[in-house]
Each structure stands twice: as C-alpha cells, then as structure tokens.
C-alpha cells in the first residue's frame, strides 16, 4: 500500500484567503495536508525573510480538525522554513503555494510572495508549485480551475522534479470549459512601467503609491503571457540558480585584473 | 568630450551605512552620483516591493551639497523604482548597490535586498552591480576593497551589460594586498540549514528567531564560494529570466492534458 503523500500548503495572501481554501480542498484529495500560512497578506514580498525581528506561529485549527493549520507572522518564505524545520517532523513530499489572487506570469515571478514560498521549498529539496489565477478579486471563482490544479500537483507527485526546479502555474480568468489546456512555457520578457501616484497628507507631506502598467516586451508564442492571452494555463519551470551562464565566457574577456 | 556617466547608488543596509559611504566615494571618481537609499535596514528583504502601503521619500542632502541624496521609506527595489520614475529625469548609466555588510554569494542572492536593487535596475534596462563584503561588522574596513569596486564599476561603464544580466560581486574579508584578484564565477549550490531559536515572551507566549548555518553543497572550483574561500573577489553574472530552459523538453512529456 502506498503511503499518502504529505503536502505542505501555503500562500502569500494570508491564511483567510479564498484561494488558499480552494488549494486545501484540491490537495485533500491527493494526500495528507498541513497548512502553514502568513497571518496577513504578503503580496509583493518577493523572497523576503524575517531576520531582524521575531516570528510567531500559532496553531489555528482545532485538535480534532481534519487538517492542521498554522498561522505565522512572517513572510511566505518564513512559513516554509518554519514548517520544514520546526513544525513538521518529516520532509513534505510536495509544497504548493497559492492560489494567488492575481498574476505571477512574466517578470511578476520576481516580486511574488507565492513563488518565493515555492522557491524556498525547492531550495529545501521539496518538489513545489506556485499557483496563481489572473483575477485580483477576493471573491474570484477558483472552482473553475480546481481540477487543473489537481492535475498539475498529481503530475508533480508522480514524476517528481529535478533538484533546483520548481513550477510556476498561472491560470486565465475563464470558465473551465473555455480553458484550452495546460501549456509548458518560458517566462515572457516584460516589465512594469511605473507611475507613482503622488499625494499630500493632511499635514502637507508628500507621499507615493506605487502603480504602473505591465508591458509585455516579448512576441514569442512559447511564453506564459502568450499562453494566458490565448486561453491556456501556463506552466513555467523556474530555477533559483540565477547564474547567467551564457555570459561567463564573455565576462572573462573583461580587463578585471590589470 | 565625454559626458560624465550618471550613477545611481543604493543599498539595503540603509542610508547611514558605512558600506554605502564607501560606494559613494568610489563612484564619485567615475561619474555624477545620486543616492536613493532606504531610511532603515532592509536586509533579507529579497525582491520585496511596497504595494499595500505608502512610500515616503525625502531629500536629505543640502542644496549646495556635492551629491544629491534621498532617503526612502521602502525597500531597495522601491528605491530604484522611485529614483528612475520619479526623482531622475534621465535614465542612469549605471546603478550600484551596497556595499553590503555581509555575503550575497551562493543562494544568498535570492534573499538579498542589495541584489534586488541591482536586479530591479536590470529590469529597467540599466547596467547594474551589487557589491558585498564578507564582514557583518558595521565598522568593517571597506577601504581595503575600494579600488576593486572602482575597477568592476568602470568595466561595466566601459563595456555595458547585455539585456537581462546584472553582476553580483562579493569580496573576501582580507587586506588589499592579500586579495588575489577578481574571478568570474557561477553561483555555488548551497542552502541554509535553519535552526529556529525558540523563546518565551515575558507573557509566556512562544516566539522564534530565525538562525541557522549555510551549507555549501558544491565542490566546484568555478563557484563564488570557492573563489571567496581562496582569496579571490567573486563576480557572478545574474539573470532574472528564471525559466529552467533545460527542463522544458522533459516537462512536455508529462500527462498534463489527458
């Protein structure tokens, strides 16, 4: 008899987020689930960790609850570290993060708390996936994508992932029957063109809100942006070896030691 | 006559950090310098950006000061965004971040506020370098490495960097005469083995401090860790296309659309 896989579930929108609830429900059908999630929204936290202050972590589920849930004061990456090194006594077989309320395609992966949790799990040697739905609405309809989430996660459980690779899955805001399928992609080149919304406080002091518009700089049809704009779910394999290996040879021609 | 390059200087240890002062002094000899740095330490912030709260940014230098300096309430990535889109009216020719008090070699690049500023500049199309000295001491002796910092920065001004690539430079804690030179490297495979320091508050509530030990999992002699342990300065070209291109072909053999 196969032992059920142990699945660690986390996110960056916080433990009360509807996207997390959908992910828990989907994972319950695949294995034993434990939830360690931030106690407050952590969007845009990138791969932040808490080094200069303390962390709190509280069990929030009842002792007889079907699923163990912990609420932590830190970032998504902190949650994974706490789960693996403090809460769990065995390494999870899978870590899933999300479902994020909003896109983590293209360059958004860099700013993503959702993906930082998946990457942190990957660094720990745990197969991991981040899930994001292109709908910022708190009441987004996650039920449309639940079966696809299960398909991706069960494929990861079945096949494993090589060391140093985690998956970034993004879902278009479409009805289930209008989704054309799952497409393996590369990260589209793109950036945010920022516009700071400059305001004045009641005391007359200037302050800013970060805003701006995402610009796709990539015409490729093998990118996550293309897939999402054309009705597909995008799955990008991501690595955390940031070395630009292709540039090493050229860099060695520079006059760095004269 | 060549126009002097415009150099944006930032860091993650905050505007008062000695490492930032050394970097400013070094850059003054290469171009026109503007400083936009966090008002407080931002270590471990990864690529965090401020999306759910406001940003403040104050000019802290005198009008007749040689160098314009701004202090910002946000993260290192916020500082670069504010500098480029709000403070400056031309794109800088170079962005330098640091000098960090501590290492950003190996997997530390993922957690690094210093490198997130350089990467943010890279995303904006600005040649960028993050500098870090392997000495956590606030009073570390940055003068030993100032000439090497200049060499690396002037090479970047001279040669430029391709789109999508920024440099991560780390310096061993050695006297200038004991440094063997600058070595182009790849990011060593490694991770942190966490140990949470569990304590009790005066009210009896448990809390944690994140601690742990870095483990080098890489025996290669072409890594940043090897270089630093053997008396060299490491320079790793880094990219922010996280796609694990080598795994795309295999991922396409998975049963994702059955």
- Burial (CB < 10 A; 0-12, 13-18, 19+), residue A222, is middle
* Range in A243-252, B20-29, B50-59 with the lowest mean pLDDT: B50-59
Q: Give the pLDDT score at B64.
A: 74
CA–CA separation, A67 vs A73, rounded Å?
20
| Tens of pLDDT, residues A12-23 | 999 999 999 999
| Tens of pLDDT, residues A86-134 | 999 999 999 999 999 999 999 999 999 999 999 999 999 999 999 999 9
Average pLDDT over residues B244-251: 97
Of the pLDDT bands very low, low, confident and very high (cuts 50, 70, 90), residue A2 is: low
Instruction: Look up the ipTM and state it.
Output: 0.93
Judged against a pLDDT cut of 90, whether residue B141 lies above it is answered with yes
Q: Which helix (H) or strand (E) element contains residue B235?
A: strand B232-239
Which of B194, B237, B257 has its CB closest to that of A244?
B237
The 3-state DSSP class for residue B53 equals: coil
Domains plus CATH for chain B? 6-188+219-243 (3.40.1210.10)
Higher per-residue confidence, A93 vs A192:
A93
Judged against a pLDDT cut of 90, whether residue A41 lies above it is answered with no
Tell which residue, A183, A166, A188, has the closest CA to residue A233.
Answer: A183
Which of B77, B186, B256 has its CB closest to that of A152?
B256
Enumerate the residues of chain A whose CB falls inside 8 A of the CB of residue B195: 85
**Interface mutation vs chain B, best among A38, A40, A110, A232, most B CBs within 10 Å:** A110
B110·A124 Cβ contact <8 A: no
The 3-state DSSP class for residue B160 equals: coil
| Tens of pLDDT, residues B70-119 | 999 989 999 999 999 999 999 999 999 999 999 999 999 999 999 999 99
Which of A84, A109, A194 has its CB closest to that of B81?
A194
- Burial (CB < 10 A; 0-12, 13-18, 19+), residue B149, is buried
Q: Which DSSP symbol is given to A243?
A: B
Which residue of chain A is at minimal alpha-carbon distance from B50? A44
Which of B85, B123, B184 has its CB closest to that of A252?
B184
Mean pLDDT computed over every residue of chain A: 93
Enumerate the residues of chain A whose CB falls inside 8 A of the CB of residue B241: 186-187, 189
- For chains A and B, CB pairs below 8 A equal 216
A49·B46 Cβ contact <8 A: yes
CA–CA separation, A81 vs B152, rounded Å?
35
* Range in A238-242, B4-8, B64-68, B97-101 with the lowest mean pLDDT: B64-68
Average pLDDT over residues B64-70: 88
Judged against a pLDDT cut of 60, whether residue B151 lies above it is answered with yes
Q: Give the pLDDT score at B2.
A: 63
């Amino acid at each position: 008899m196969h032992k059920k896989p142990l699945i660690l579930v986390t996110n960056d929108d916080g433990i009360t987020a509807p996207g997390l609830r959908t992910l828990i429900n989907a994972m319950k059908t695949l294995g034993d689930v434990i939830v360690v999630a931030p106690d407050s929204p952590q969007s845009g936290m990138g791969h932040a960790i808490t080094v200069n202050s303390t962390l709190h972590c509280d069990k929030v589920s009842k002792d007889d609850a079907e699923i163990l849930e912990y609420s932590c004061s830190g970032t998504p990456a902190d949650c994974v570290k706490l789960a693996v090194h403090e809460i769990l006594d065995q390494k999870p077989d899978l870590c899933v993060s999300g479902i994020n309320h909003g896109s983590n395609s293209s360059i958004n992966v860099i700013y993503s708390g959702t993906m930082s949790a998946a990457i942190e799990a990957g660094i720990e040697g745990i197969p991991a996936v981040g899930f994001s739905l292109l709908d910022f609405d708190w009441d987004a309809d996650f039920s449309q994508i639940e079966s696809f989430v299960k398909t991706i996660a069960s494929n990861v459980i079945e096949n494993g992932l090589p060391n140093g690779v985690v998956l970034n899955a993004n879902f278009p805001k479409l009805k289930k029957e209008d989704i054309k399928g799952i497409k393996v992609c590369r990260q589209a080149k793109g950036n945010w063109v920022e516009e700071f919304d400059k305001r004045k406080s009641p005391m007359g002091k200037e302050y800013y809100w970060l805003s701006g518009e995402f610009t796709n700089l990539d015409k490729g049809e093998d990118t996550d942006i293309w897939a999402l704009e054309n009705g597909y779910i995008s799955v990008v394999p991501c690595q955390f070896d940031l070395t630009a290996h292709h540039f090493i040879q050229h860099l060695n021609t520079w006059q760095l030691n004269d």
